[in-house]
Structures are given as C-alpha cells and as structure tokens.
Structure 1
Amino acid sequence: MTGTEDEIMGEPVIAMRKVTAELGSRPVLRGIDLTVRAGEVVALLGANGSGKSTAVRTLIGQVPAGSGTVELFGTPRRSFRDWARVGYVPQRTSAAGGVPATVAEIVASGRLARTRFRFFRGADREAVHRALDLVGMADRAKDPVTALSGGQHQRVLIARALVSEPELLIMDEPMAGVDLASQEVLAATLREQVAQGTTVLVVLHELGPLEPLIDRAVVLRDGCVLHDGPPPRAVGQHALPGHDHVHPHAPAGAEPSRTGLLS
C-alpha cells in the first residue's frame, strides 16, 4: 500500500498479526490478522465460541497472546501505556461488580486513566455529566447501580468507556440482552462518537441497529478469519438470527446461509 493510500484510509489503530491464544489448554485463536484504521467502524462477527471476545480480550491484554504481534496506535501492546485513548465496554455484567456505588461513581472510575489518580477537577466532573447525558442517564447520576435495569447497566458501562474521551472504542456485545429502547439509545450514542471521528471495534452476534454504521466486517469461525470486507447483507427485511444472509463474496447463484456467516 502506498503512503497516499495509507493517509486516505487512516493510520492503523489496531494491528493484530498471526495472533494465537488459548483459554486453559484449548486453542481459541489460531493465527488471526486484524487491522482497524483511524476512523473505521469494524464489526467482529461470528457464532458463539468463534473467538470474538477472546480476540478483544487479547487485544487489551486480558488474555495473553501465545504468538504473533498486537499493536495499539503503532505501539506493541506490551509497551502501550496511554490507556486514556482507549474506551472498553465489556460484555454486560453488574456495573459495580457487587460494590455499593452510584451511577456517577461508576462512570467517574473510567476517568482515572486520564486523571492518573489526581483529584477530580471541574473538567472531570463535566466529562462525567457529559458521558451520562450521551447515554440518557444524567437524571440517574445519584442512583445506586443496583437499582438499574439490564439496559441501563449497559448504558452506564458505555458512559464509563466514553468518559475518558477515547480515540478508540472497543465494545464486546453491547446489544446483547438489551431492550429495544436501550438499543436505540446505544446506536444513537455510537453514531455521535463516529461522527466525531472515534475509531470503533465492536463485537456483535448480529448487526441489528448498528448496521448503518459498520464500514467493514471481520468474521471469525473456529478462531480463524473467515471473511474481512463488506458486512454480510440480509436477504429479506432483517439481519437477525434465523433470517437468510448472503456472503458478500459468494459466487453468483450461491444459496444463502441460515444466520449467514454468524453460524
């Protein structure tokens, strides 16, 4: 690729090369390549057990890579320290992990990478309010997180990721088990971040309401990259489980697969 093409597409924000990983003694990633460039919105797709979440957890260092290279913003992951540039939304869990805390306190914890544990200032408090407002939770700032619904928990996790004003947002199944109203709020929040130039890697089981935002899809199967290119398109009205999909590179006349590349 020429320098001009590189500039047009954006510099690599994520670069994984021939990465392998195991959970216990079981191989989960079998030499995957994944590049996400500045400003891209990339969906990581695949069936349960395909390696999607393990790939993300390897990227951020929660799972060690057995071999291969992992870089963030051009820096080897082992040497990367500027975590304020990265917002991470894990698979939905209790936002407080059983610890009594308010919504604002949980979101404020995501600011620590930027404050480096100094006292909060006015700008930090404003960032917390802004992040909560983005996800429609500003009016719940003083409520205990134990009082929230599942969809509201997910909004808090996303606000916690956004409060450091990251350049890269990594989200692991943000729509899983979330009611339609919260899905719409999360999609609107992501649209705003993308409009501001945030780079996004999002793990999904299906594209759903995020489909219009996705630039590229990387589909995993059995820990290998099956497809890297245009997102699979739905045949019919919805890209949902049980509906027919066609691989974007399938030969003419090919039969659609049930749940497409995701099964």
Structure 2
Amino acid sequence: MTDTDISTAPVVRLTGGTAALGGRPVLRGVDLKVGPGEVVALLGANGSGKSTLVRTLVGLVPLTGGSIDLFGTPYAKFKDWSRIGYVPQRTTAAAGVPASVREVVASGRLTRRRMFGLSREDRAAVDEALTAVGMLDRAGDGIANLSGGQQQRVLIARALARRPDLLIMDEPMAGVDLANQEILAETLRRQQEEGRSVLLVLHELGPLEPLIDRAVVLRDGCVCHDGAPPPATGQHALPGHDHVHPHADDHHHRVTPGLLS
C-alpha cells in the first residue's frame, strides 16, 4: 500500500467483527467504516453492543473473529496510538480521582514516548484542549469537585490534548445537563471543522444531530442500519428497535494504558 493509499484509507475499518463478554456473544459479524473527517454516530438500545464495539477498537475487548484496520494499517501492526483520542463513559473514569483538572488533561500527553515531564509543546496542547472545552479557568481545581458535565468536558480535553486524528467517545452526553451539552456540541463542531474523524456512541442524537454525517444502528450485536441518521430521536424511533431493553453492556474492563494513562 502506498502513502497515498494510506492517507485516503478509512480511519476505521472493522470487518466481520465478533466479540464476547463473559462467554456471551455481544458482537455478531459487525462491519463498520469511518472515513477521514467523517462524524459517525453509533446508536442502539442498551445491550445492543455499542460500547463493546468501540472498546474493541481501542483494545479493551479482544475480537473473537474478524479484523480491524486503523488508518489503513492492520490492528496488530498499528503503533501510533497518539492518533486516537478515547473518551470513556464518565462513570469509568474521573469520579474519585485525586487530581487537578490540569493533571488529568496532561495525562493524555504522557503516553508520547515518556511517562514523566511535560515539554513546552505538551503544556501548550493541554492549554489548547482546556480552552476548547471552556475549562481553562478551572485548571487548578480538583476534578472530584466538578459537576458531572464539567468532568465530562475534562475527559474530552484529555483526549483532545493528544491532538488526535480520530476521536472516539462513549456516551458523551449521558447525565450531562443542557448547558454542558451545548458546550460539548460546540466542541465537537470545531473538531469536525478541523477535519478530525469522530465516532460517537449515543443514546440519541440530541444537540449533536446537525454534526452527524452517518448513523450506524446496532441491534443484538448486528448492524441493522448504516446510512442517514434516523429523523426522529429516542430509542423507539431507531431502525430495528424491538421495544426490549436488556441490561446494558458490562462496563468493567481493564483500561488500555496507551489510551487512558
């Protein structure tokens, strides 16, 4: 593959992906593609496999079948994890962390070939990320003292501090009030304008709807829709929704050091 081929290749290509949690099949032959600069929403009822799917992409859940290419490179050969910013669900991260806002965001830079000390470029990237989410004035505050919506903005800043080409976000609007939702939507709009690819796990489109290029809807671990975003919001309007709400995906998995340290 030439450099030109790599630059125009899908940022994410999952082919025939299967995965299981606790021996229970969760993904059943999923195909997913995210193009350069594309914003893709991953929708579906609780338990449909949305969070498991994005965790396979960042190494938290191993595939039991199928293949992943990232930026045109087979997963096993992909090394440049700084190109990917991952924002987990808030309940798996910021709560209880005895650190300042700046320290949490700076941790997104420490995986760049060293674990201690920040360069001038690192510090500039941290300030840039904090400014992007409107939290620069709270940089010295303890993250445990912030509201849920503010904590979510800090987690997004941590991912943005990597200056990634691909931003993966798992339920960024969950439990976030309207004011913080609007700030997050504006932050995502700027990422879109800068040409970043974005993959979002969402319960419903909400204020992010104008930013979405394509929606992929999962049902029982399979893709039941891949195309224009559904016109109506809410789970009952999703293609393939069967009005059954099984328990949500298990969220207790080991964190990949390269992405979250």
For normalisation by structure 2, the TM-score amounts to 0.86
Q: Residue by residue, what CA displacement relative to the aligned partner does 1:41-89 show, whole Å, maximum 9, x if unpaired?
A: 0000000000000000011110010010011111122221111100000
Superposed displacement of residue 257, structure 1: 8.8
Query: Which of 159, 168, 171 is the equivalent residue of 1:170?
Result: 168
Aligned position for 2:252: none
Aligned position for 2:84: 86
Partner of 1:110, secondary structure, is coil
Within 2, Cα distance between the matches of 1:205 and 1:166? 24
Report if the CA contact (8 A) 1:14-1:71 is conserved: yes
Query: Which of 89, 93, 102 is the equivalent residue of 1:104?
Result: 102
After superposing the two structures, state which structure 1 stretch, 140-149 or 87-96, moved more: 87-96
Report if the CA contact (8 A) 1:94-1:153 is conserved: no
Q: How does 1:24-63 map to 2 (within 5 A)?
A: 24-63=22-61
Structural RMSD (CA):
2.3
Aligned position for 1:233: 231
Q: Are 1:132 and 2:130 counterparts?
A: yes
For normalisation by structure 1, the TM-score amounts to 0.85
**CA pair 153-64 structure 1, distance change in 2 beyond 3 A:** same
Q: Residue by residue, what CA displacement relative to the aligned partner does 1:220-249 show, whole Å, maximum 9, x if unpaired?
A: 000000011111112xxxx2456xx485xx
Within 2, Cα distance between the matches of 1:130 and 1:142? 15
Among all aligned residue pairs of Structure 1 and Structure 2, give the percentage whose two residues are the same amino acid.
64
Within 2, Cα distance between the matches of 1:205 and 1:190? 17
Superposed displacement of residue 102, structure 1: 0.3
Number of equivalences = 240
Superposed displacement of residue 119, structure 1: 2.9
Higher relative CO (CA 8 A, sep ≥ 6), structure 1 or 2?
2
Q: How does 1:149-188 map to 2 (within 5 A)?
A: 149-188=147-186
Superposed displacement of residue 143, structure 1: 0.5
Within 2, Cα distance between the matches of 1:55 and 1:137? 30
**CA pair 142-95 structure 1, distance change in 2 beyond 3 A:** farther
- Structure 1: give runs of 5+ residues left out of the alignment: 1-5, 251-255, 259-263
